[in-house]
Chains A and B, each alone.
Chain A
Amino acid sequence: MATGNKNSTIIPQTLRQKVWNYIRRNRNFVIGNVMAITGIKYGNLRDMLKTYELAGYIEAISKSKPLTSNRYTLIKCTGVRVPIHDKRKELLYDPNLDIEVEIKRTPSILKILSFMDKSPISKEEINKSTMLAHATNVKCYAKLKELNMITRISPIQKNSNGHVLFNVDLTEIEEFKKKVANREIDIKAIF
């Protein structure tokens, strides 16, 4: 009896497919376990999970240090094929449903600016809320300093936790945000 294997296509067993297979089977998963089982590198996995989080496929249960102990849960398991992220188009293509989900990442610098709501403020205070990588923070603060949006107080002042405070030009920040929203400033071009 011929059944005709409708839609029969061999699923390529890429590294990302292996990660997807693992998280489908273990809906509550820890980053470290995914790395140990599939051999994926931390940076690649972090990108993949971030995309799925933005698209509403997974949800963070706990985020703590070390980062490899972070726990997530799969809330939208659409099928066996791994959803693919198109970075250029900022889309997540789900071959299981044949749909595209728009992925809008907030640029790191805007995330930092959104937490600069008072002056003076310490970088540690902001970093705690943004949860960005150290290297990203360094890059963003250097750019903000260059754009004169933040300046170090002279002589140095520290808060009660011993963290160095700096002044924030709140008016300038609002202007900057407006220009970004009106596409007068291209953030990608700045970096």
Chain B
Amino acid sequence: MREEFIVTKNYSQLYEAIQSLKNLPRTAPKMGLGYGHFGLGKTFALEKLAAQENAILLRAAQTWSKTSVLTELCEELGVDTTGHSPVKYRRVLESLIAGPKIIIVDEIDALLRSTKFEVLEMFRDFHDETGIVLFFTGMEEANRKLKKHKHFYSRIVEFVEFHIIHKIDIEAFCSLSDVHIENEVIDYFHKKFPNLRQIKVMLLRLERYCETNDIDIVDMKTFKMSGAEYGDRK
């Protein structure tokens, strides 16, 4: 199987949102929010985007505090991590003004509790003072929960809702396989497996089975025979 990144519809939406935020004038709010159920490729898409845009990608955790985030940001920006929070805050600010960077925060759900909201407020301060692009992603409820904080929500100008993987994405993904996957199998994947992670595991099992049995084309019968769906050969 060839290892290539598949530009899915979800990824294209995300990419377009980031480009549109980048093109906004300095004074305009530049926050974005991506949300959707698990297993739709949000994190993988963010990884790709971070690599392409040289962005800072952070994964929010329940243990985050303003101090720990400031230290993490100092590290990512390559500036000194010692000193009190206000000093680190200024360093991050100066660094972002000198060399603006996109900041992406994944798993924002961990910051949506009232006790953690001050961390989000700190990100808002960086955004307001430096004009950088700030993008958050979280689960389905992230959008609803953020709506409650009107002053914050009003700054979010780009929304990306992650949808169930399209058939066309599965087709593109299957085309990376060393064997040809027939349409009926792609339809089956589309109906039964909504995420590419599961499909990848099955394709790798299928390839192993096909190599052993000298098969080039996989139809539904071969797929069922291979036991790729359950991980063992029946």
Contact = CB atoms under 8 A, between A and B. Distances in A.
B94 A79 contact: no
B9 interface: no
B204 A69 contact: yes
A32 B3 contact: yes
B87 A3 contact: yes
Interface of A: 1, 3, 5-11, 13, 18, 21-22, 25-26, 31-33, 35-39, 42, 65-66, 68-69, 79-81
Interface string B41-58: 000100110110010010
Main secondary structure of the interface of A (DSSP, over half): loop
Contacts of B4: 36
Given A1-B86, A5-B91, 8 more contacts: A6-B82, A8-B80, A11-B78, A22-B51, A32-B3, A35-B3, A65-B208, A69-B204
Interface residues of B, number: 31
23 contacts: A1-B86, A3-B94, A5-B79, A7-B78, A7-B79, A7-B80, A8-B78, A10-B99, A22-B51, A25-B47, A31-B3, A33-B3, A35-B3, A36-B3, A36-B4, A38-B51, A42-B3, A68-B1, A68-B3, A69-B204, A80-B75, A80-B78, A81-B78
Nearest to A6: B80
Q: Which of B59, B78, B99 has the most CB of A within 10 A?
A: B78
Interface string B74-92: 0111111011001100110
Contacts of B8: none
Interface of B: 1, 3-5, 44, 47-48, 50-51, 54, 57, 59, 75-80, 82-83, 86-87, 90-91, 94-95, 98-99, 204, 207-208
Nearest to B93: A3
A32 B204 CA distance: 12
